[in-house]
Amino acid sequence: MKRRTFLGGAMAVAVVGHGSSALAQQPPIKIGMSMPQTGGLAGGGKASLLGIEIWRDDVNAKGGLLGRKVELVVYDDKSSASETPAIYAKLVDVDKVDLLFAPYATVPTAPIMPFVKQRGLLLMGNFSFQVNSKVGHDMWFNNAPWGPADSWAASFLDLAQKAGGKNMALLTADQEFAQNLALTARDVAKKRNIPIVFDQVYPPNTVEFSSIIRALKAAKPDIVYVASYPPDSAGILRAVNEIGIGDSVKIFGGGMVGLQFAAVMSNLGSLLNGVVNYNTWLPEKSMYFDGTKEFFDKYTKRAVEAKVDPLGYYLAPFGYAMGQMIEAAVGATKSLDQKGIAKYLRENEHKTIVGSIAFSADGERKETATLQAQFRGVKDKDIEQFRSSGRQVILFPDKLKTGELISPFEAARNLGLVAFPAQGQGGT
């Protein structure tokens, strides 16, 4: 376990001038977390951490929190659930951190929930899905835009039914996050009397998806809901392109992890066209709030040095927003009392660079802000194209919507660049 203490903010503090000497004399406020920096979740973890680091530098440049410098204490959890309980115990008992941020993703976060509940500690969640549903910790606040558990599947099926979809195929990875999505998709489908004509769970490390896609195609579904993990998302889309999915399919996608990351998007290129998938932030006009553009200006520069996702849409701004919420809560309560901070977070709406955030009793968003967007006019091997608006048109939620679904899926796939020219730079 290698400790990484991030002191980069100290340099920014040094140039602030007048307040800097007072700032330097007081002990820093330590925020502790583990973050996947190796293993399968490392791509997301590194981008998320960079977002948090940018917030740390910004807040320190403004004079810190309560006049004290903010310092991050970060350990690599290797994307493993078995590492995080010991790391968080060390953060609290040895490093004596003042506040805790959760690691990126569901799997490393789930095992620390009983610990923080038992100790009565505030935990800012970082993109995990439904980890608090059974634990019921009242000091948990997730920065992710998921909202109510079933809203993810419901929004996709809303679009599908509007497009005339009457039955569904479900293809999911045998992994907790994907299975949670599949569970809600089955529930929503049952409530709406949508028959499930194909329901397959594939194991991690599946090398070749051609056979699975052939079987799926033979079921002739109208709606194909896929909940996959990054290595598989690419394999599935490749197989769909080669084997074909059939003319019956009105809409394809939903919960494919990986299609939010620049390297995967760039690798897949035109294979993405037509896919409707979830996302969290996109460079569309409706997604810019106070500070969003400035954040991405900084992120784009620092991502190159840090060798992380050059776009950083999926996680990085939410890492920053997590810091903004803590900044607002500590500023308002004028203390580091975790109960007071939790009360403030629960009772107020928070302005962040990803929009307004309000929490329900379970610490998840009151309303979902998870986007469903359709890839259009994507060409091969060009990361820069994803900085333009129009490449991922937002179909849901209505207040952020920037276009209508193109259906059926095969038609949407075959529409090329001519039909969807880029609509200018999104400002990042």
Partner 1 sequence: MDLLLGAVVLGVLLGCFYAAVSVGLSVSFGLLDVPHVAHPAFLVLASYGVYQLNESYDIDPLLAGLAITPLFFVFGLLAYRVYYETFERRGSDAAVRGIAFFFGIAFIIEVLIILQFGVDQRSVSATYIGKSWRFGEFRIPIRQLVAFAVALALTVLLAVYLSKTFMGRAIRAVAQDEEALRLMGANPVRIKQFAFGIATAVLGIAGALLIIVAPVEPTLDRAYIGRTFCVVVMAGLGSISGTLIAAIILGVAESIVLTLFGASWAPAISFAMLLGVLAVRPQGLLGR
Interface residues toward partner 1, by CB under 8 A: 38-40, 42-43, 46, 174, 200-208, 210-212, 214-215, 218, 230-231, 234-235, 238-239, 241-244, 258, 261-264, 267, 271, 307-309, 380-381
Q: How far is the CB of 420 from partner 1 (least distance, A)?
A: 20
CB nearer to partner 1: pick between 167 and 206:
206
231 or 403: whose CB is closer to partner 1? 231
Residue 256 CB, shortest distance to partner 1, in Å, is 13
Q: How far is CA 196 from the centre of its chain?
A: 28
- Beta-carbon contacts of residue 225 (< 8 Å; ≥ 6 apart): 153, 156, 157, 168, 169, 170, 171, 182, 185, 253, 254, 255
Residue 300 Cβ vs partner 1, minimum distance, rounded to whole Å: 16
Question: Minimum distance between the CB of residue 228 and partner 1, rounded to whole angstroms?
Answer: 12
Q: How far is CA 341 from CA 46, 292, 325, in A?
A: 27, 24, 10
54: enclosing H helix or E strand? helix 42-61
Give dist(CA 125, CA 184) in Å, integer.
21
Least separation in angstroms between CB 346 and partner 1: 35
Nearer to partner 1, 269 or 291 (CB): 269
Spatial distance between the Cα atoms of 364 and 367, rounded to a whole number of angstroms: 9
Q: Which is nearer to partner 1, 43 or 319 (CB)?
A: 43
Q: What are the φ and ψ backbone dihedral angles of 167, each rounded to 5 degrees?
A: -140, 165
3-class DSSP state of 75: strand
Shortest Cβ 215–partner 1 spacing (Å): 5
Q: Of 206 and 348, which CB lies nearer to partner 1 in the complex structure?
A: 206
Q: Give whichever of 171 and 373 is closer to partner 1, judged by the CB atom.
A: 171
The tokens for 347 are: 């009772």
CA-based angle 234:240:244, to the nearest 5?
165
